[in-house]
Amino acid sequence: MLKQILSGVVIGVANIIPGVSGGTMMVAMGIYDKLISSITGLFKEFKKSVRFLLPVGIGMVLGIVVLSKLIAIMFDVIPFQTNCLFIGLIIGSFPFILKNVKGKSIKLQHIIAFLLFFGLVLGSAIFGESSGTDAQLVGGIVPMVKLFGVGIISSATMIIPGVSGSMVLMLMGYYDVIISNISLFIENVLTMNVEGILMGLQIFIPFGLGIVFGVFAVAKVVEIIFQKFPLVAYWAIIGLILASPFAILIASRGEGFNIVSLITGLLAAVVGGFIGNKLGGDETEKEVKKEA
């Protein structure tokens, strides 16, 4: 359970950092397949699914609530080293990902899937914007409907490996205002500010409902893809993962880079690699069924 909580913390932190894919971290931590099956099988195997989803969910909440400010400070003070830490997490777990395709013949569709998704991640980093326009969150039914839609889109992108949900939120103009309101809502809850809590609920209820709807919808689609075309799916994920370190560095625009940060960044990558190696490897060791 502790390992699942720690994996959830990493995923939660990754989901609030633009340029870093929470879905990639799910794969890196070795829980992606099981997470998807637990979501889609929640009502069929309720107890089994909850036993897995609960500790991961607790970890994600802890990562977002407790460590979000720490990560924000780290990106302000040591941005290059922080990016290197996440790159290390990805690289450290990569050998476990390869086990899913090891010994399998490589076909044309696998190469196409790899190149397509490798290019997708790099293209998103190269041509993506670094900021967005603040969006209106309250004031009537229209903002609530928009928040519901934004929740669907953000949850869908957050569980797709290689796609940064936070970057998508930023492009839609909702990232800064959502993150700041999370911090404000937590502060209002701690100080028992009823007016502030009610204001926050107007934002997070429709946004949260959209997230729940999006997660279940996308998880089902992902499950079908893994059932029908497992090797194609894994080669697409390998493309996403191999492109992610480059995408993270490109998205950072070289912020905080110098000789000292290069040395300490390499050390941070080693630490991240060690953590990724220890946390990964459970679910990714599962053999892939042969394609017809």
Cα gap 103→188, rounded to integer Å: 55
**pLDDT by residue (tens digit) across 43-60?**
888 888 888 889 888 888
Cα gap 185→183, rounded to integer Å: 6
- DSSP 8-state secondary structure symbol assigned to residue 128: -
Sorted by sequence, the CB contacts under 8 Å of residue 8 that are 6+ apart come out as 55, 56, 57, 58, 59, 60, 61, 62, 63
Cα gap 197→190, rounded to integer Å: 10
Whole-number pLDDT of residue 181: 78
Of 97, 71, 54, nearest in space to 239 by CA = 97
- Identify the sign of the CA torsion 160, 161, 163, 165: positive
Task: Please tell me the pTM assigned to this model.
Answer: 0.60
Q: Is the separation of the CB atoms in 292 and 106 below 8 Å?
A: no
Burial class of residue 126, CB neighbours in 10 A (0-12, 13-18, 19+):
exposed
How much is the mean pLDDT over the chain? Answer: 78
- DSSP 8-state secondary structure symbol assigned to residue 139: S
Whole-number pLDDT of residue 131: 43
Low-confidence ranges of the chain (pLDDT < 50): 129-134, 282-292
Residue with tokens 């300490």: 264
Whole-number pLDDT of residue 85: 86
Sorted by sequence, the CB contacts under 8 Å of residue 279 that are 6+ apart come out as 3, 6, 7, 10, 28, 29, 30, 93
Whole-number pLDDT of residue 111: 94
Cα gap 234→189, rounded to integer Å: 42
- Identify the sign of the CA torsion 33, 34, 39, 40: positive
Whole-number pLDDT of residue 108: 93
Whole-number pLDDT of residue 214: 84
**pLDDT by residue (tens digit) across 3-56?**
788 888 888 877 776 556 777 778 777 788 788 888 888 888 888 888 888 988
